[in-house]
């Protein structure tokens, strides 16, 4: 059984701001960024875990972009809480 993904509202703002910046740099790059983030978050559903970076927070690299997805795993509830997508 996979994990339920919970995404904080701030994550959507992080993604939209970064996507807009990338789109200004090159047409289509913002959409590529959003697809990569979505794909990486989807992988967390299957329980793909990364090493703990600080406290109980894990970070997943966004492929081809210098960003990390910050999240915590609640094993007992089978939930992954994503709370930030930040430039690394």
Give CA–CA dist 72/81, Å, rounded. Answer: 5
Structurally, the chain folds into a number of domains equal to 1
pLDDT at 1: 64
Query: Residue-wise pLDDT tens for the chain (88 aa)?
Result: 689 999 999 999 999 999 999 999 999 999 999 999 999 999 998 876 778 889 999 999 999 999 999 999 998 999 999 999 999 8
Helix axes 29-43, 9-25, angle to 10 degrees: 150
pLDDT of residue 50: 78
CATH number at residue 33: 3.30.2310.20
Which residue range forms the structural domain that includes residue 52? 4-87
């Amino acid at each position: 059984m996979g994990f339920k993904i919970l995404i904080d509202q701030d994550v959507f703002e992080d993604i939209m701001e970064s996507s807009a910046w990338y789109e200004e740099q090159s047409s289509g790059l913002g959409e590529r960024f959003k697809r990569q983030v979505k794909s990486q978050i989807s992988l967390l559903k299957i329980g793909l875990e990364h090493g703990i970076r600080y406290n109980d927070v894990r970070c997943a690299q966004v492929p081809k972009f210098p960003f990390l997805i910050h999240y915590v795993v609640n094993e007992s509830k089978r939930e992954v809480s994503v709370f930030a997508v930040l430039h690394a």
